Amino acid sequence: MTTADRTERWGTGRGAGDRGPGAAGAAGYDEYHALLARQDAMRLRRRLSAPARPDRPARPDRTDRAPGPARPAGPAPAGPADRETIRRHLPLVAPFDALIAHLYRAMFEQHPYLRGLFPDSMDFQRAHLERAFWYLVENLDRPDEVAVFCARLGRDHRKLGVRPVHFEVFEAALAEALRRRAGAAWVPELEAAWLRMVGFAVAAMVGGAEEAVGEPVSWQATVTGHQLRRPDLAVLRVRTAEPFPYRAGQYTSIESPRLPHAWRPYSIACAPRADGELEFHVRGTGSGGLADVLVTRTGVGDALRLGPPQGTTTLDDAPAPEGPGTGDEARDVLLVAGDTGWATAKALLEEQGLRRPPGRTVHLFLGARTLDDLYDTAAVAELERRWPWLRVVPVIGDGGGYESGHGVGHGAGGAEAVPVAGAVVRHGDWSGHLVRVSGPPAMVTATLDLLAQAGVPAAQVRHDPVGGTVPLAHGPAARV
The secondary element (H helix, E strand) that includes residue 202 is helix 188-211
Could you give the percent of the chain with pLDDT greater than 90? 55
Phi-psi region of 274 (alpha: psi -120 to 50; beta: other; left: phi over 0): alpha
Question: How would DSSP label each residue in 113-124?
Answer: GGGGGS-S--HH
Q: Give yes or no for a contact between 394 and 366, defined as CB atoms under 8 angstroms apart.
A: yes
Span 63-98, pLDDT tens digits: 444 334 444 456 778 788 999 999 999 999 998 999
Could you tell me the maximum CA-CA distance found in the chain, to the nearest angstrom? Answer: 67
Residue from 124, 108, 101 nearest 177 by CA: 101
Span 375-395, pLDDT tens digits: 999 999 999 999 999 999 999
| pLDDT exceeds cutoff 90 at 279 | yes
Give φ, ψ of 136 to 5 degrees.
Answer: -65, -45
Q: Across all residues in the chain, what is the average pLDDT? A: 81
The structure's pTM equals 0.73
Q: Give yes or no for a contact between 202 and 269, defined as CB atoms under 8 angstroms apart.
A: no
